[in-house]
Amino acid sequence: MNSIANKVLNSFKEKFSNTPNVYFSPGRINLIGEHIDYNDGYVMPAAINKGIYYAVAANGTDTINILALDFNETLNIKITDIKKMDSWKNYVLSVVNEFVLLGKITQGFDCVFSGDIPQGSGMSSSAAVEGGLAFALNEIFNFGYSRVQLALLCQRAEHNYPNVQCGIMDMYASLNGKKDHVILLDCTSVTHEYFPFVLKEYTIVMVNSKVHHSLASGEYNVRRQRCEEGLGILKTKLGVQSFRDISSTDDIVPFKETMTPEVYDCCKYVVEEIARTRKAGALLRQHDLKAFGQLMYATHEGLSKLYQVSCVELDFLVEQAKTNTAVIGARLMGGGFGGCTINMVRNESVELFIAAISAAYKQKFSIEPEAYIMSISDGTARIID
């Protein structure tokens, strides 16, 4: 058994008297399609082998008891007292609150959790926390919700207590991942198809900048508002329903003066990124990874210059990747303002790449970055019962 699963199970046994189920809820990477899940785009995430492990059991009382091992903190709260709190508590309680709003939670539960997704890395530890608990409660109490319904519930939960107006990608990918497959998620219909992710001569390497700018969640909501504002204008001017109805940025140029520069740049980025993801799917199927890698660089450029969610550290990591002939594509991944870059690197050069980029980054910012070699896993599942 995985060592974290073991630790969670043993801690549960020490602290509580009942027998839990143990679950794994993965983080996610996203190959392409950034900041377009809430803009009716297509995204290409996959669940990863890093995630959150939960031990959970119903307790037949009116109280919820949670031990967050990584924070060494305990929360004991009556179901009727659930409210917005701080840090990790917001994520778990907001999920419980969504079930309460649906009239579902009638008794308490005991729970221990821990994980190995570096916080603030952009690999979505929050969605893994939310999805894992939602999945566990759904199973333990026989609520009968589908994985898609649970993903939508977790999205509402993230909007509510943590107040991050996120899209559906993270929780959807975590709950619906498939080993060695990428998910092509249509964020309008909230449906997906899988296709095999065969990299052959390449490896996905994440490089963690270890910076996490505190503006991240506020600025995220600002980007979402800019897009809504821009789309509102484009709907009336162009008669479109969504960004995906706009086939070229040429169509939006005439309306540049009707928007603030920030709103216009966000709209331009979204139209371009939707076009890139459409191309990317075809390229992956043809195994044209070099062309796919060029799209990754173009996405980074757009995220940095137009969408303005990068930072000097991430720009530096992507520039470094570009100078390395073993890398065919790199970009910041996730919400931005810190976290990881995702890099596609030739298999035989992975170690050299990690050593070179780590040394350059350390010299420039006096921060030791971390690098992770990714493997793609199944979505949230019970692993012990």
In whole angstroms, what is the distance from residue 304 CA to residue 333 CA? 11
Of 299 and 324, the one with the shorter C-beta distance to ligand GLA is: 299
Confirm whether 250 is a catalytic residue.
no
Of 303 and 317, the one with the shorter C-beta distance to ligand GLA is: 303
Among 51, 108, 293, 335, binds ligand GLA (CB under 6 A): 335
Where does the chain have alpha helices with state H?
3-15, 87-101, 125-140, 147-160, 169-176, 216-238, 261-285, 289-301, 312-322, 350-365
**Residue 113 contacts residue 52 (beta carbons within 8 Å):** yes
34 lies in the binding site for ligand GLA (CB under 6 A): yes
Stretch that binds ligand GLA, among 8-16, 34-42, 193-201, 261-269 (CB under 6 A): 34-42
- Secondary structure (3-state) at 58: strand
Stretch that binds ligand GLA, among 35-43, 49-57, 129-137, 361-369 (CB under 6 A): 35-43
313 lies in the binding site for ligand GLA (CB under 6 A): no
In whole angstroms, what is the distance from residue 89 CA to residue 235 CA? 39
124 lies in the binding site for ligand GLA (CB under 6 A): yes
Of 166 and 234, the one with the shorter C-beta distance to ligand GLA is: 166
35 lies in the binding site for ligand GLA (CB under 6 A): yes
Name which of residues 155 to 214 contact ligand GLA (CB under 6 A): 166-167, 169-170
In whole angstroms, the minimum distance from the beta carbon of 257 to ligand GLA comes to 28
Beta bridge partners of 325: none
For the chain, helix, strand, coil in percent to 5 are: 45, 25, 30
In whole angstroms, the minimum distance from the beta carbon of 36 to ligand GLA comes to 7
**Residue 189 contacts residue 244 (beta carbons within 8 Å):** no
Question: How would you class 19 by CB atoms within 10 Å of its CB: exposed for 0-12, middle for 13-18, buried for 19 or more?
Answer: exposed
Binding residues for ligand GLA, rule: CB under 6 A, are 34-35, 37-38, 124, 166-167, 169-170, 334-335
| Residues with a known catalytic role | 170
